Amino acid sequence: MLPWILLLFAFSVLALTGHLELPANAINVLDPARASIILIDDSTETQNVYHFLRDGSFNLPVSHKGTYRLFFQSLDFNFIRGNEFSLLVKNSTYYELHEFYSKNKDLVPAGLQFAIDQIHFKNFVDVDPSDSFLNSLPLVPLIRRYPIIGGLLGAGILLMVSPMIISQFDPEFNTKFIDAQKELRTKKSQ
């Protein structure tokens, strides 16, 4: 009796399949720790999480006909149309996929088949080898981001070094400077 009940339940669940077309070197982006699919039933607000298979395909078991919200979450890619869709299931072979945030709820013509030109891969590190040495120096990345800090730092260094530069042009400058400080101290003490 139990096998018949399980078989009956298996036929009552609709399974929608989809596929992401990915380049061969991007197979790690489908790691379950980095990408998932969330399916929310609009009538009961139940939320189910599904994962991609290694070849980029995915299965969405849907328990009944109706409207669902479909989220694609990934650390490595997103869709050009957006990562949230509205899924209208009419029967086991017919469904409609609409953009969730568009004003007209535009129909996605390919359904759950996403071509490589619809997927945007995120670049977390853009390495420019020409400036890698400069970025390794202290404060250089900070100065590049906030140029005012570079100006203040340069002005401070110039202020500290200016007596030495002036003394190179006028050797008696230091003695004049020390005498002027002594005179100022004597006037304050009187």
Structure tokens at 6: 């399980």
- Mean pLDDT of the region 130-154: 80
Alpha-helical (H) ranges within 13-145 are 132-136, 140-145
Alpha-helical (H) ranges within 101-146 are 132-136, 140-145
pLDDT band at 148 (very low <50, low <70, confident <90, very high): very high
| pLDDT value of position 70 | 86
CB 77 within 8 A of CB 122: yes
pLDDT band at 2 (very low <50, low <70, confident <90, very high): low
DSSP 8-state class, residue 127: -
Q: What is the pLDDT of residues 12-44, one digit of tens each?
A: 456 778 888 877 776 677 777 788 889 888 888
Domains and CATH numbers, the chain: 9-121 (2.60.40.10), 129-184 (no CATH)
| pLDDT value of position 1 | 57
Rounded to the nearest 10 degrees, the angle between the axes of helix 173-189 and helix 147-169 is 100
| pLDDT value of position 165 | 86
φ, ψ dihedrals at 6, nearest 5°: -65, -40
| pLDDT value of position 11 | 47
Q: Residue 147: CB partners within 8 Å, gap ≥ 6?
A: none
CB 33 within 8 A of CB 73: no
